[in-house]
Amino acid sequence: MADMESLCQKVQVIAREMGSFLKKERETFDFDKVEEKSAHNYVSYVDKQSERMLVDKLSALLPEAGFLAEEGTGSMNDSGYYWVIDPLDGTSNYIHDMAPYCVSIALCDKTGVLLGVVYEVHRDECFYATADSAAYLNGKEIHVSKVSALTDAFIALGFPYNSDAYRPVAYRLIKNLYGFAGGTRLLGSAAAELCYVAAGRFDARIEAYLGSWDVAAGSLIVQQAGGKVTDFNNGNNWFSGEQVVASNGSLHDTILALL
């Protein structure tokens, strides 16, 4: 296994290369080629092409590792290591020429997430961490906020495509946050918003019915920045993306009580 710090640096280079590809493709993007996987859940030819490219680049970097990818490129194997990737997190934003959208890459083994890199294209921001390091943004160490009161909290929400199942939760959150929290936002990119929690821009982020590729890298970065990530029951079952609460830690119990 390569030195983790060196490997993380190489992954950052790949993430930026993929970001440049996304940005270039956006200039001539063809909306007519967008497909709908389920109600309002879109995938574009850019998602598919960029995923194939990303698998190729990461395979050359670490040939023994398998893949868990949103569009199914690559496969798991018995090596013990696997990449969890989303080459375009925030597809709806991307196809409507809105920010943020990003490249999300995590390397995992049976113990958990070993490294995470998230590159947000519009702001040219590369967030990264390893399981043994601090969290960084473009080379500068980052930390979660110290906000502890809901009235001061700036909270990111995600409304997943599984709207029927999530609607009761969404209503509850709106009821308990609107007019009570310092502010709420829906930005449309889970990976980017998790990193914004890590950087202290948001104090918490809440969503369900995601995939591991949406949350693996960003959640590691939150934790290494001093934050906390759990499921809705304060358990450690967040990796699947089914339920994810990320916070600065100080607000975590308050957020869980709202849920």
Is the distance from CB of 221 to CB of 228 less than 8 angstroms? no
pLDDT of residue 70: 78
For residues 171 and 169, give the distance between their C-alpha atoms in angstroms, rounded to a whole number.
5
Question: Is residue 41 predicted with pLDDT exceeding 60?
Answer: no
Q: State whether residue 49 is helix, strand or coil.
A: helix
Last residue of some domain: 101, 121, 141? 141
Last residue of some domain: 92, 120, 141? 141
Is the distance from CB of 158 to CB of 205 less than 8 angstroms? yes
For the annotated binding site for Mg(2+), the residues are: 70, 86, 88-89, 214
For the annotated binding site, the residues are: 70, 86, 88-89, 214
- Asked if residue 121 and residue 17 are part of one domain, the reply reads yes
- Tokens for 110, please give them: 């049976």
For residues 79 and 154, give the distance between their C-alpha atoms in angstroms, rounded to a whole number.
41
pLDDT of residue 45: 79
- Asked if residue 37 and residue 124 are part of one domain, the reply reads yes
- 205 lies in which domain range? 150-258
- Tokens for 113, please give them: 């997430």
- Asked if residue 160 and residue 39 are part of one domain, the reply reads no
49 versus 58: which is more confidently predicted?
A: 58
- Asked if residue 158 and residue 65 are part of one domain, the reply reads no
- Asked if residue 100 and residue 33 are part of one domain, the reply reads yes
The total of structural domains in the chain comes to: 2
Average pLDDT of every residue of the chain: 92
Tens of pLDDT, residues 48-57: 888 999 999 9
For residues 109 and 4, give the distance between their C-alpha atoms in angstroms, rounded to a whole number.
13
Looking at residue 64, which CATH number applies to its domain? 3.30.540.10
- Asked if residue 47 and residue 123 are part of one domain, the reply reads yes
- Asked if residue 54 and residue 122 are part of one domain, the reply reads yes
Report which residue type is found at 178.
Y
Last residue of some domain: 92, 110, 141? 141
- Asked if residue 137 and residue 17 are part of one domain, the reply reads yes
- Asked if residue 96 and residue 36 are part of one domain, the reply reads yes
- Asked if residue 136 and residue 14 are part of one domain, the reply reads yes
- Asked if residue 191 and residue 115 are part of one domain, the reply reads no
Long-range contacts of 2-8 (CB under 8 A, 24+ apart): 2/62, 4/114, 4/115, 4/130, 4/131, 4/132, 5/130, 5/133, 7/61, 7/62, 7/107, 7/115, 8/115, 8/117, 8/128, 8/129, 8/130, 8/133
Tens of pLDDT, residues 207-245: 999 999 999 999 999 999 999 999 999 999 999 999 999
Of 90, 19, 85, 22, the residue nearest 56 (C-alpha): 85
- Asked if residue 189 and residue 250 are part of one domain, the reply reads yes
Q: State whether residue 164 is helix, strand or coil.
A: helix
Question: Is residue 6 predicted with pLDDT exceeding 60?
Answer: yes
Looking at residue 247, which CATH number applies to its domain? 3.40.190.80
